[in-house]
Amino acid sequence: MNRFLIIALALALCGAQPGRAAPAKIEVGKPFPHLVLPAADDGRPLSVAAFRGKKLILQVFASW
């Protein structure tokens, strides 16, 4: 068994691998986590990165 296969197996078994599907984290001093999400009005792909060049106030909210 080569070592890449061993690493892949170890990652598969531990279940908590690095990468996108781990929850993003908002940290001061770091780039805002990269996420492409559907726009609420027409479902087009939208991301915070698309607003680069502007100062942003972002609100994460729910209407309940």
Partner 1 sequence: MPGWHDATRELQAEGKLQMLGIVQEQHPERARLFMQWKGMDWPLMVDSLDLLGVSVVPVTVAIDEHGIVREKGLRIGRAAEFAREFVAREYLPPRDVPVPPTGVADISRLKAQAIRSGSAENWRRYAEALTLWGGETRLGEAIQAWQSALAVAPDHAASHFGLGVTFRRRYDSADGRPEDFRNAVAAWSRALALDPNNYIWRRRIQQYGPRLDKPYPFYDWVDQARREIRGRGETPQALQVEPAGAELAPPGEQFEAPGEASGGPDPDERIQQDPARFVRVATTVVPPVLAPGRAARVHVVFRPQTASDAHWNNEAGELTLWVPVPAGWQVDRQRLTVANPAQRTSDETRRVEFELRAPEDAAPGPVTLPAYALYYVCEGVRGACLYRRQNIPLRVTVGE
Residues that bind partner 1 in the complex, under the rule CB under 8 A:
8, 11-12, 15-17, 19-41, 45-64
Residue 48 DSSP class:
G
Cβ 7 to partner 1 shortest distance, Å: 11
Which residue lies nearer to partner 1 by CB, 1 or 62? 62
CA distance 30 to 40: 26
Which residue lies nearer to partner 1 by CB, 6 or 37? 37
H or E element in which residue 13 lies: helix 3-14
Cβ 14 to partner 1 shortest distance, Å: 8
